[in-house]
Amino acid sequence: MTAWVNTLLQGVMLGGLYALFAAGLSLVFGIMRLVNLAHGDFIVLAAFVILALMQTLAIDPFLATLLAAPLLFGLGYGLQNQLLNRTLDKDILPPLLVTFGLSIIIQNGLLEVFSADSRRLRAGAIETVSIPLGGGIAVGATQLLTLASAIGVILILNYLIHRTEIGRAFRATSDDPEVARLMGIDSGRIFSLVTAVAMVVIAVAALHLGIRANFDPTVGPARLLYAFEAVIIGGLGSLWGTLAGGILIGAAQAIGAKINPEWQILAGHLAFLAALVLRPQGLFVGRREAVAEPRAGSCTRWCARLRAGTIAHLARCGAEWVGRLVSRAWMSALRCARENLALLGRAAIRSSLPARSAFERSKVGDEERFRVEVGTRSSRHLAVAAVGVGALLVALPAFASRDLINDLIFVLTMLALAQFWNLLAGYAGLVSVGQQAFVGMGGYLLFASTIHLGIDALIAIPLCGLLVGAIALPTALIVFRLRGAYFAIGTWVMAEVYRLVIAQFKELGGGTGMSLPVSVTNQVAGIEWVKALFDVRTSAARDIITYWLALTLAIGTIALVYLILRSRHGLALAAIRDSEDAAESVGVNNFKTKLWVYVVTAAATGMVGALMYLQKARISPDAAFSVLDWTAYVIFIVVIGGIGTIEGPIVGVLLFYVLQVNLAHFGTWYLMLLGLFAILVMLFAPKGIWGYLSQRYGLALFPIRRRLVERMGATPPRPDT
């Protein structure tokens, strides 16, 4: 019994650390509705800043944290003011992708400066001091200090938000930025101050992270996931909720480690998923802090001045309250009027058209005057050129080197992944950072079906796609409880759950992975025919078959996406992307539309994953479920090429391949360059390279928009008499 009490106590102390991780994230989301994907990397960056100050000035970590706090405050203010404020809009994608790029830059920058070695912030004798509580129960001084720091930070943040002038500005800006701007509040400055305060909280979190455990430049994403889980469990924007959520995650991890040390991280993720299923709105949703549901700052001011008893103060407060009320009502009325006028205008246009729309057929006498076209001159030229290029690619193994074939396998598989991620995020609005889950599951299902069931690899690939689609269905029912940027991180958590679960199966190699036996790789259907046709060895023949399969998948992916976007389902996706509420109002079932897109893209991603790991012939959990290899690169391809277009991923994957061939030998500098390039594209050409060219020159190689064209020589309508 004492052992379990100690376990729970250790979990509570660990929860204090997770609450420190989550407090800054909760504050930023509560005010700006911004999820910073670089939040965990900022914690690690702060830990290295503290370490550098300790080593340079020969001081203890607590004093180094005091010196680091103003530096991080300035960094946060400048970063928000000069970069992140430019991305804030109704669309969640720009800030999400910019912070994702920052995450890559920070990780690789720290690797370049500090190497991959683990570090620790040495605090002296306090690290080993234990405080006995009686009955054989004791708690470490550093652990207790961490929990006390978490409670202290939350108390200070609550005081700042509820009892200070700047806190009232925070609440007003969070409540309605437009009205706050009318009242003279500079929202950009407020957002910068919020991020600066969050960076100071991050400094405190980094201090306790470095004292309690080792850290290295790559541990930031895991810190982000713990913080995210604590925020969701506690309730979005609830500061005290983050403490409760952190304690729940910490206790679950402690219990999991008590049962089996390999279950520690998995138990925390499973506790988060259970809380998400049972109470997706969070534990403290009924009484969330003002960060999530701000109250008017004028109420606090009115009460204070009423107690002062002066008529002048009371009059000014009343005037301010009325002004805010009128301004808010006026802005709301303008928005409603604008939306209603747009709806009435569309309804009037629809009612004025005959049963067969004039956009489809308008007859004057015996002639059709108008026709609907989708294709363009450039698209017709592309169709002719595509036939020749396709024939060339099919015949390429006859004269290309094996290295080129392997490079093209990578390009074609990445193109297929990018097209489906683009369909998911660019059209359905489902920005997923967890597609590596389906890549990994496709790879592992291929290994399981070929090794343990003896299924031929060519048959196993489509079978793996179907099974991954079936796995995606219950996954969607969980992650669809989250929206926007939190959906993105929720998919990442699910990918981590799959990685940790797969690592438990010793039959699949456990955490170290496994290789495909030669008997499987050398007996792929058709391999003898390819060997005879091209007069090559078995391994080269396998690469040729894999290349043809990758080419088929890439072409099939483009064709499938094009047909979907040309259909009524494509119109529904476009409506959802533009406005979910408006799409629902015209009869689009948002949930079903998003669900089938999510499942279809997951199944196709699983097929691509199975094909890639057939070619690699070795798999491990860390590689198969890598967020960098299978999601970060795909996001980069889509962003620089042009999200929301079919041509964009094609341009993006070609540019990515060129950059990789020429810059990959630079190592971490190459990855930092990719992150910086993605940020610059999102800031200055948010529609990507192809989006810029298409808008400037009117290019459309895969047109999906319908245009009304007047037939040549059609007789104009005679005027009514």
β-pair partners for 373: 707
Instruction: Determine which of 157-161, 163-167, 207-211 has the lowest per-residue pLDDT on average.
Output: 163-167
Are residues 578 and 683 both part of a single domain? no
Highest mean pLDDT among 288-292, 601-605, 684-688: 601-605
Rounding to the nearest 10 degrees, give the CA dihedral for residues 234, 236, 238, 244: 10
3-state secondary structure of 130: strand
Instruction: Go through the chain and tell me how many residues it has.
Output: 721
Residue with tokens 């690290």: 127
How many separate domains does the chain show?
Answer: 4
pLDDT confidence of residue 533: 85
Tell me how far the alpha carbon of residue 102 is from its chain's centroid. 13
Tokens of 420: 């489906």
pLDDT confidence of residue 373: 58
Q: How many CB atoms lie within 10 A of CB 181?
A: 16
Are residues 304 and 416 both part of a single domain? no
Of the residues 559, 594, 625, the one at which a domain ends: 625
Residue 450 lies inside a defined structural domain of this protein: yes
Are residues 601 and 673 both part of a single domain? no
Contact (Cβ atoms closer than 8 angstroms) between residue 139 and residue 131 = yes
Helix, strand, coil in percent for the chain, rounding step 5: 75, 5, 20
Provide the pLDDT confidence category of residue 574 given band limits of 50, 70 and 90: confident
Are residues 325 and 410 both part of a single domain? no
pLDDT confidence of residue 377: 64
β-pair partners for 140: 130
Q: What are the Cα distances from residue 10, in Å, to 23, 148, 683?
A: 20, 14, 45
Are residues 609 and 688 both part of a single domain? no
Is a pLDDT exceeding 90 seen at residue 96?
A: no
Residue 303 lies inside a defined structural domain of this protein: yes
pLDDT confidence of residue 612: 92
pTM: 0.81
pLDDT confidence of residue 248: 93
Is a pLDDT exceeding 70 seen at residue 625?
A: yes
The conformation of residue 631, written as its DSSP 8-state character, comes to I
Pairwise CA distance, residues 19 & 325, whole Å: 36
Kindly state the percentage of the chain with pLDDT values over 90.
39
Is a pLDDT exceeding 90 seen at residue 575?
A: no
Q: How many CB atoms lie within 10 A of CB 169?
A: 22
What distance separates the 2 farthest-apart alpha carbons in the chain? 103
Instruction: Determine which of 91-100, 398-407, 545-554 has the lowest per-residue pLDDT on average.
Output: 91-100
Pairwise CA distance, residues 252 & 595, whole Å: 30
pLDDT confidence of residue 664: 82
Tokens of 262: 């390999």
Pairwise CA distance, residues 141 & 144, whole Å: 5
Closest to 599 measured CA to CA, from 462, 446, 468, 419: 468
Mean pLDDT, range 629-656, rounded to an integer: 90
Pairwise CA distance, residues 114 & 119, whole Å: 9
Q: How many CB atoms lie within 10 A of CB 616?
A: 15
Contact (Cβ atoms closer than 8 angstroms) between residue 625 and residue 436 = yes
- Phi, psi (rounded to 5 degrees) for 717: -65, 140
Compare 141 and 347 and report the one with higher pLDDT.
Answer: 141
Provide the pLDDT confidence category of residue 355 given band limits of 50, 70 and 90: very low
pLDDT confidence of residue 548: 93
pLDDT tens-digit readout, 2-19: 778 888 888 999 999 999
Mean pLDDT, range 117-135, rounded to an integer: 84
Pairwise CA distance, residues 441 & 437, whole Å: 6
pLDDT confidence of residue 436: 94
Provide the pLDDT confidence category of residue 710 given band limits of 50, 70 and 90: low
Range of the domain at 314: 298-345
Compare 354 and 107 and report the one with higher pLDDT.
Answer: 107
Closest to 20 measured CA to CA, from 337, 197, 246: 246
Contact (Cβ atoms closer than 8 angstroms) between residue 194 and residue 88 = no
Is a pLDDT exceeding 60 seen at residue 717?
A: no
Pairwise CA distance, residues 360 & 368, whole Å: 10
Instruction: Determine which of 78-87, 299-308, 363-372 has the lowest per-residue pLDDT on average.
Output: 299-308
Residue 408 lies inside a defined structural domain of this protein: yes
Mean pLDDT, range 424-444, rounded to an integer: 91
Pairwise CA distance, residues 486 & 87, whole Å: 17
Are residues 586 and 506 both part of a single domain? yes
- Chain-wide mean pLDDT for the chain? 82
pLDDT confidence of residue 350: 46
Kindly state the percentage of the chain with pLDDT values over 70.
84
pLDDT confidence of residue 90: 65
Compare 478 and 340 and report the one with higher pLDDT.
Answer: 478
CA-based torsion, 650, 655, 656, 658: positive or negative: positive
Mean pLDDT, range 114-125, rounded to an integer: 89
Contact (Cβ atoms closer than 8 angstroms) between residue 291 and residue 237 = yes
Compare 699 and 449 and report the one with higher pLDDT.
Answer: 449
Contact (Cβ atoms closer than 8 angstroms) between residue 475 and residue 437 = yes
pLDDT confidence of residue 348: 44
Are residues 663 and 609 both part of a single domain? no
Tokens of 317: 């407060």
Residue 667 lies inside a defined structural domain of this protein: yes
pLDDT tens-digit readout, 199-230: 999 999 999 999 998 999 999 999 999 999 99
Compare 377 and 140 and report the one with higher pLDDT.
Answer: 140
Provide the pLDDT confidence category of residue 306 given band limits of 50, 70 and 90: very low
Highest mean pLDDT among 173-177, 371-375, 717-721: 173-177
DSSP H helices, 135-217, are 141-163, 165-175, 177-182, 187-212
- Phi, psi (rounded to 5 degrees) for 128: -105, 0
The conformation of residue 355, written as its DSSP 8-state character, comes to S
Are residues 581 and 664 both part of a single domain? no
Is a pLDDT exceeding 80 seen at residue 101?
A: yes
pLDDT confidence of residue 236: 73
Is a pLDDT exceeding 50 seen at residue 383?
A: yes
Which residues neighbour 570 within 8 Å (Cβ) at sequence distance 6 or greater? 427, 564, 704
Is a pLDDT exceeding 90 seen at residue 390?
A: no
Is a pLDDT exceeding 80 seen at residue 295?
A: no
pLDDT confidence of residue 464: 95
Mean pLDDT, range 119-132, rounded to an integer: 85
Mean pLDDT, range 535-539, rounded to an integer: 84
Are residues 233 and 121 both part of a single domain? yes
3-state secondary structure of 52: helix
Are residues 604 and 660 both part of a single domain? no
Residue 642 lies inside a defined structural domain of this protein: yes
Tokens of 653: 């994957």
3-state secondary structure of 641: helix
Is a pLDDT exceeding 60 seen at residue 289?
A: no
Closest to 463 measured CA to CA, from 486, 447, 479: 447
Of the residues 583, 606, 625, the one at which a domain ends: 625
Residue 272 lies inside a defined structural domain of this protein: yes
Provide the pLDDT confidence category of residue 302 given band limits of 50, 70 and 90: very low
Provide the pLDDT confidence category of residue 715 given band limits of 50, 70 and 90: low
Pairwise CA distance, residues 68 & 79, whole Å: 16
Is a pLDDT exceeding 70 seen at residue 609?
A: yes
Residue 46 lies inside a defined structural domain of this protein: yes
Provide the pLDDT confidence category of residue 131 given band limits of 50, 70 and 90: confident
pLDDT confidence of residue 499: 94
pLDDT confidence of residue 700: 75
Provide the pLDDT confidence category of residue 363 given band limits of 50, 70 and 90: very low
Are residues 432 and 503 both part of a single domain? yes
Is a pLDDT exceeding 70 seen at residue 507?
A: yes
Are residues 459 and 520 both part of a single domain? yes
Dump the DSSP string for 588-648. --HHHHHHHHHHHHHHHHHHHHHHHHHHH-EE-HHHHT-HIIIIIHHHHHHHHH-TT-SHH
Is a pLDDT exceeding 70 seen at residue 277?
A: yes
Residue 390 lies inside a defined structural domain of this protein: no
Mean pLDDT, range 510-525, rounded to an integer: 84
Of the residues 567, 599, 625, the one at which a domain ends: 625
Provide the pLDDT confidence category of residue 318 given band limits of 50, 70 and 90: very low
Rounding to the nearest 10 degrees, give the CA dihedral for residues 276, 280, 285, 291: 80
Tokens of 287: 């009484």
Pairwise CA distance, residues 379 & 705, whole Å: 12
